[in-house]
């Protein structure tokens, strides 16, 4: 069980590294004006998205494995709320894909300032998820 938790945490760290950096790339991409820079950002975003998706998939795999190994946790309120925030995190991840495709198709409609705010959302989700997982308030 402890090995599963450790592997889950490692995968979550990998996933969040991408979630923190990809929207930052969007900030720079939104400000880029020359074709060489925009092409470079397209490549960087695509590669980073692939890596963070692997981290997300492994996180979800080990999370589900932990639930299968200890199904009693599903009765706990803190875990239900944590899973809701994880679902929001997955939705954020999927939305990052949409934004990446918009950039790749030269169809970005957002400003660099908007991406700066968007970049803060995973931090807020991380804070809530970690507090729920560690403190188990209810």
SS3 for the chain is CHHHHHHHHHHHHHHHHHHHHHHHHHHHHHHCCCHHHHHHHHHHHHHHHHHHHHHHHHHHHHHHHHHHHCHHHHHCHHHHHHHHHHHHHHHHHHHHHHHHHHHHCCCCCCCHHHHHHHCCHHHHHHHHHHHHHHHCCC
Rounded to an integer, the average pLDDT of 71-75 is 95
pLDDT at residue number 6: 98
Provide the number of structural domains found in the chain: 1
Residue-number span of the structural domain to which 29 is assigned:
2-135
Rounded to an integer, the average pLDDT of 21-47 is 97
Q: What is the pLDDT of residues 90-117, one digit of tens each?
A: 999 999 999 999 999 999 999 999 999 9
pTM recorded for the entire structure: 0.96
As a whole number, the mean pLDDT across the chain is 97
């Amino acid at each position: 069980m402890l090995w599963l938790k450790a592997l889950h945490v490692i995968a979550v760290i990998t996933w969040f590294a991408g979630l923190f950096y990809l929207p930052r790339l969007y900030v720079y991409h939104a400000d880029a004006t020359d074709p060489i820079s925009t092409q470079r950002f397209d490549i960087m975003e695509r590669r980073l998205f692939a890596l963070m998706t692997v981290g997300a998939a492994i996180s979800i795999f080990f999370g589900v494995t932990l639930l299968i190994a200890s199904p009693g946790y599903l009765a706990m309120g803190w875990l239900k709320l944590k899973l809701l925030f994880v679902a929001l995190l997955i939705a954020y991840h999927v939305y990052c894909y949409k934004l990446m495709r918009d950039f790749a198709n030269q169809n970005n409609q957002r400003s660099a300032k908007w991406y700066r705010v968007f970049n803060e959302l995973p931090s807020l989700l991380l804070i809530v998820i970690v507090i729920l997982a560690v403190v188990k308030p209810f």
